[in-house]
Structure 1
Amino acid sequence: MSALALGLKEYDHRRVDGVRIPVDDAYAVDDRFLRMTREQRRAYKTIHPGRIDVVGGGAVVWNRVLAKVAQAAAADHGGVIDSYVASEHGLLDGIVLDCGRRLLAER
Structure 2
Amino acid sequence: SRAQGHVQAVAWMMKRLGLASLVASKPCRERDRVMAMVAARILAPHTKLATTRWWHTTTLAEDFGVTDADEQDCYAAMDWLLARQDRIQKKLATRHLEEGGL
TM-score interval w.r.t. the shorter chain? 0.3 to 0.5
Q: Tell me the TM-score normalized by structure 2.
A: 0.38
Which structure has more strand as a fraction of its residues? 1
Which structure has more helix as a fraction of its residues? 2
